[in-house]
Amino acid sequence: MYNLSFHEKRQHGTADFPAEYYYIDKEHPRYHMAFHWHKEWEIIRILEGKFLLHADEDEYTARAGDIFLLRDGMLHGGTPEDCVYECFLFDLHGLFRDVNSVKKYLYPIYHDLVLPQVYFPCRQTDCGKVKVYEIVDELMKGFSFKRKTEEASDIVSDNTGIHPCELAALGNLSRLFALILEKGYILQGKGVSQSGSRKVSQLKIVLEYIENHFDEKITLEDLAGVAGMSPKYFCRFFRSITHQTPMDYVNHYRIERAASLLCSEDFSVTLAGMECGFNDSSYFVKSFKKYMGMTPKQYQRANG
């Protein structure tokens, strides 16, 4: 999931099992979830703390036990607060491409005729939603156990073998979507509005520009021009979705790229900063500490 690309083009999992599990805590380079999108669906479960998620134009505040179900192509980003969370990314088309008995029921979901509910807060008494939590819990626990087993054995999985949790995942995902359709856990009468879709598309263009030019000088006027807006209007537009100013967001993205580089022994603090668009070393250190809560050198030691 977290390859520092707004539009993630990498494959998660394998061709035979296009799905992958991630455990995210403060040590993870992408602890703060930058806005991005991908072809996979994603289940996010909050294990500890608090998590503010922005999905397209909606905002949710989640706590331990809460679950998100994000559609493919949905623009999303999150801000954790003393948080640990886990993610399961899966290609819904790829997993069931040869299972016609399942595909026929998923047809309205594949074609956005039905938009499943995004947020499932755990503080629910509805028996159907309790079942949602049970299914997701079973799904996540299988992959969490696999991760811990591999770490304890110092084994790096190459995803070439078959693991029981992968077989169980197919059943659990089938159960999950069957339950959503049966109980009507969908976005009633909402859908994706034409104006909303256009705004998200405009933002995606800007984010891709930042990704391609983050190591160069970027001005507010540059970003506003990409969006086809005046700088003043663009600032309001950008902040209405991301809750950040455009230039704060650019700096945050640069810091995340630098943090990834610092995990490599080949990069000094000065070089990492320069590679990510910071020509002033002292400003880079100050900015890094602001966003990451520690200096670049402290981060490098902790992740070396």
- Quick one: which H or E segment has residue 47? strand 41-55
The reported pLDDT for the residue numbered 13 is: 67
| pLDDT per residue as tens digits for the range 261-287 | 998 777 899 999 999 999 999 999 999
pLDDT band at 199 (very low <50, low <70, confident <90, very high): confident
Q: Is the pLDDT of residue 101 over 70?
A: yes
Mark which of 183, 215, 244 sits at the end of a domain: 183
Whole-prediction pTM: 0.79
Residues 179 and 231 in one domain: no
Letter string b/e over residues 170-202, b meaning 16 or more CB atoms within 10 A of that residue's CB: bebbbbbbebbbeeebbeeeeebeeeeeebbeb
Q: Is the pLDDT of residue 130 over 60?
A: yes
pLDDT band at 3 (very low <50, low <70, confident <90, very high): very low
Judge whether 2 lies within some domain: no
Q: Are 29 and 259 in contact (CB under 8 A)?
A: yes
CATH number, domain containing residue 217: 1.10.10.60
Domain that holds residue 160: 7-183
Residues 34 and 174 in one domain: yes
Label residue 107 exposed, middle or buried (CB < 10 Å: 0-12, 13-18, 19+).
Answer: exposed
Mark which of 155, 183, 211 sits at the end of a domain: 183
When the pLDDT of each residue in the chain is averaged and rounded to a whole number, the result is 87
For residue 218, give the amino acid letter. Answer: I
Residues 15 and 145 in one domain: yes
Residues 233 and 170 in one domain: no
The reported pLDDT for the residue numbered 162 is: 59
Judge whether 173 lies within some domain: yes
Count of structural domains, the chain: 2
Q: What is the mean pLDDT of residues 179-198?
A: 72
Task: Tell me what percent of the residues of the chain surpass a pLDDT of 90.
Answer: 60
Q: Are 74 and 37 in contact (CB under 8 A)?
A: yes
Judge whether 189 lies within some domain: no
